[in-house]
Amino acid sequence: MAAEASTGMNERVIRVRLKRQDGPDARPRWESFDVPVGTGSNVTSVLQWICAHPVTVEGKNTTPPVYDSGCLEEVCGSCTMVVNGRVRQACSALIDHYCPKDGDELTLEPMTKFPVVRDLSVDRSRLFSNLERMRAWVPVDGTYDLGAGPEETPEAQQTRYVLSTCMSCGCCLEACPQYTLETDEEAWDRAFVGAAVISQARYFNMHETGSSLKKVRLTELSGPGGVSDCGNAQNCVNVCPKEIPLTESIAAIGRQVTAHNIRQFFSGD
């Protein structure tokens, strides 16, 4: 872990306002820190610095703030939080962008659609649980040697590739007006699954072997919490760091669900 929050160029001090919460049931509170930064600093390096120097602007010793991080290159999805009012990854949030001048203010808050664990760390298990609900996998016959997978055109690969870069970060869910905080695990099967999971259903439905579970997925998505809960606000697609075409996915699944419902109606099962 780096003790320096910057690379030594364009040195300045910024004021960081941090929303803190000691535990899931604790009352949130605010603390502020003055942090030296420079070119190359990002929100994660600022948090690293605060952890090593946990003293507020009032000179009060406090506990090192709790936050999640992993790859530090915007590919693991760990560090999602609300930076100056907008949800994004902390590690790729460059301080030069947010706080170009000495004394500029930076506000950090946890996401609001997931239960807070502590400070900036939230519990996103619901997202993973919904992937399970959606059978988000290709049902292979096992690991024995059965030759290559289905052939694929470069165009199809490019479409699937983009969908496959979803890192379950939760930005699209935080931004979605239809996705709301749900702490009761029992309710996860009925509450709106959100754009990320709908897009994953599309991804697996596109794969030759993956599509053998298409019916099951579409049945899930035509019920409560499925695609019809989407209000088409398009907030999701605007915040996705991987630029996944989420509204396209929602439309594609919408069509698949309609076709599926018609088929179900006529076949009667």
Partner 1 sequence: MAGASQQQRVIVVGGGLAGLAAAVRITEGGIPVDLFSIVPVKRSHSVCAQGGINACNDIARQQGYSEHEHFDETIYGGDFLAHQPPVYEMAQMAPRIIDLLDRMGVPFNRTAEGQRDLRLFGGSLYKRTHFSGATTGQQLMYALDEQVRRAEAAGKVHKYEHWEFLRPVLDEMGACRGIVAQDLRTMQIRAFRADAVVMATGGCGLVFGQSTNSVMCTGAAASRCYQAGVKYANGEFIQVHPTAIPGADKLRLMSESARGEGGRVWVPGKKDASGAWGPHPQPGMDPRQIPDEDRYYFLEERYPAYGNIVPRDIATREIFNVCLEGMGVGGGRMVYLDLSFKPREELERKLGGIMEIYRKFVGEDPCEFPMKIFPGVHYSMGGLWTRYTPKSDLRGLEKGAPGNMMTNVEGLYAFGEVNYQYHGANRLGANALLSCIFDGLFNGESVVNYVRDNAHAPASAVEQGLYAGAEQIEGDKEKDLLARDGDQNVYEISAELGDEMTEASTVIKTGERLQRAIDKVAELRDRYRRIGVADASMWTNQALSFAKSVGDMIAIGDAILRGGMLREESRGSHYRADHPERNDERFLKSTIAEFDPQSKTASITFEDVEVGMVEPRKRTYGKIEPASGQKAGAKTEPAGASN
Which spans of this chain sit near ligand SF4 (rule: CB under 6 A)? 166-172, 175-178, 194-196, 199, 230-236, 240-242, 244, 246-247, 250
| Partner from partner 1, ligand FES, ligand SF4, none binding residue 5, C-beta < 5-8 Å depending on class | partner 1
| Partner from partner 1, ligand FES, ligand SF4, none binding residue 1, C-beta < 5-8 Å depending on class | partner 1
Among 128, 177, 216, 232, binds partner 1 (CB under 8 A): 128
Type of residue at 238: N
| By the rule CB under 8 A, 239 interacts with partner 1 | no
**Residue 244 C-beta: closest distance to partner 1, Å:** 13
| By the rule CB under 8 A, 131 interacts with partner 1 | yes
The pair of structure tokens assigned to 171 is 């930005």
**Residue 114 C-beta: closest distance to partner 1, Å:** 13
The C-alpha angle 15, 86, 229, rounded to 5 degrees, equals 155
85-95: b (≥16 Cβ within 10 Å) or e: eebbbbbebeb
Contacting positions for ligand FES (CB under 6 A): 69-72, 74-79, 89, 91
Query: Any alpha helices (H) in the chain, and if so which ranges?
Result: 43-52, 95-98, 125-133, 154-164, 171-175, 195-206, 214-222, 235-239, 246-267
| Partner from partner 1, ligand SF4, ligand FES, none binding residue 178, C-beta < 5-8 Å depending on class | ligand SF4
The pair of structure tokens assigned to 2 is 């780096």
Tokens 């579970």, located at residue: 213
| Partner from ligand FES, partner 1, ligand SF4, none binding residue 82, C-beta < 5-8 Å depending on class | none
Question: What is the rounded distance in angstroms from the CA atom of residue 79 to the CA atom of residue 19?
Answer: 15
CB proximity list for 181: less than 8 A, separation 6 or greater: 112, 113, 114, 115
Nearer to partner 1, 130 or 235 (CB): 130
**Residue 120 C-beta: closest distance to ligand FES, Å:** 12
Using CA of residue 75, residue 76, residue 79, residue 83, what is the dihedral sign? Answer: positive
SS3 219: helix
Q: Where in 42-61 is the site for partner 1 (CB under 8 A)?
A: 42, 44-45, 48, 51-52, 54, 61
SS3 199: helix
**Residue 265 C-beta: closest distance to partner 1, Å:** 29
**Residue 219 C-beta: closest distance to partner 1, Å:** 16
| By the rule CB under 8 A, 269 interacts with partner 1 | no
SS3 213: helix
Nearer to partner 1, 50 or 236 (CB): 50
**Residue 73 C-beta: closest distance to ligand FES, Å:** 6
